[in-house]
């Protein structure tokens, strides 16, 4: 079945429970390709990625915060990094660039029939330092987000989040 982009947007949901089943390397590559298609200010494309399927590493990430426990059972983990050597002086929009990249990753995960969840990292310095140490990141790379992914443990339904009371025209 070939779903449209809008179908994928409305289907996407944060998934926190995964089957014990690996994700094919070709699928991971397509997910990263989607991330790299994100828009970026001045087309700097400041992202890099660390991908891991290592159980011990995922276990360490699962202890990163009270909200990252699902990393332990995910098939894979993608850390989205800012490569500071790729941004121009006074470029202050890199967090938007990496947010768009992370969202593209999540949408492609859904399109692949997988589930995923965005783990917030930046600007929490403790989380950033844990990932710097764990993945031996060079000084010019800042961990921005981590995305866990895998085959959902169960089918899920997404709820409709549309709320017309949050829309204002011409003025608040």
Domain limits for position 93: 15-153
Q: Is residue 5 part of a domain?
A: no
pLDDT on residue 94 = 96
Q: Is residue 85 part of a domain?
A: yes
- How far apart CA 148 and CA 15 sit, in angstroms, is 9
Q: Is residue 1 part of a domain?
A: no
| Contact status, residue 60 vs residue 133, Cβ threshold 8 Å | no
Q: Is residue 160 part of a domain?
A: no
Structurally, the chain folds into a number of domains equal to 1
Q: Is residue 172 part of a domain?
A: no
Beta strands in the chain (DSSP E): 47-52, 76-83, 115-120, 141-150
Q: Is residue 9 part of a domain?
A: no
Q: Is residue 169 part of a domain?
A: no
Mean pLDDT for 33-48 is 97
99-138 pLDDT, tens per residue? 999 999 999 999 999 999 999 999 999 999 999 999 999 9
- How far apart CA 28 and CA 112 sit, in angstroms, is 10
pTM of the model: 0.96
User: What CATH number corresponds to the domain at position 61?
Assistant: 3.40.109.10
Q: Is residue 131 part of a domain?
A: yes
């Amino acid at each position: 079945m070939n779903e449209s982009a809008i179908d994928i947007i409305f289907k996407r949901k944060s998934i926190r429970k995964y089957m014990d089943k690996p994700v094919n390397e070709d699928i991971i590559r397509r997910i990263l390709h989607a991330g790299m298609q994100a828009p970026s200010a001045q087309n700097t494309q400041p992202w890099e990625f660390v991908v891991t399927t290592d159980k011990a590493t995922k276990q360490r990430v699962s202890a990163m915060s009270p909200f990252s426990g699902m990393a332990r059972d995910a098939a894979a983990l993608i850390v989205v990094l800012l490569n500071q050597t790729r941004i121009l002086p006074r470029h202050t929009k890199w967090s938007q660039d990496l947010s768009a990249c992370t969202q593209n990753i999540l949408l492609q995960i859904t399109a692949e029939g997988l589930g995923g969840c965005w783990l917030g990292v930046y600007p929490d310095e403790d989380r950033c330092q844990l990932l710097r140490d764990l993945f031996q990141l060079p000084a010019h790379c800042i961990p921005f987000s981590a995305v866990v992914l895998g085959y959902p443990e169960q089918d899920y339904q997404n709820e409709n989040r549309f709320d017309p009371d949050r829309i204002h025209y011409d003025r608040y």
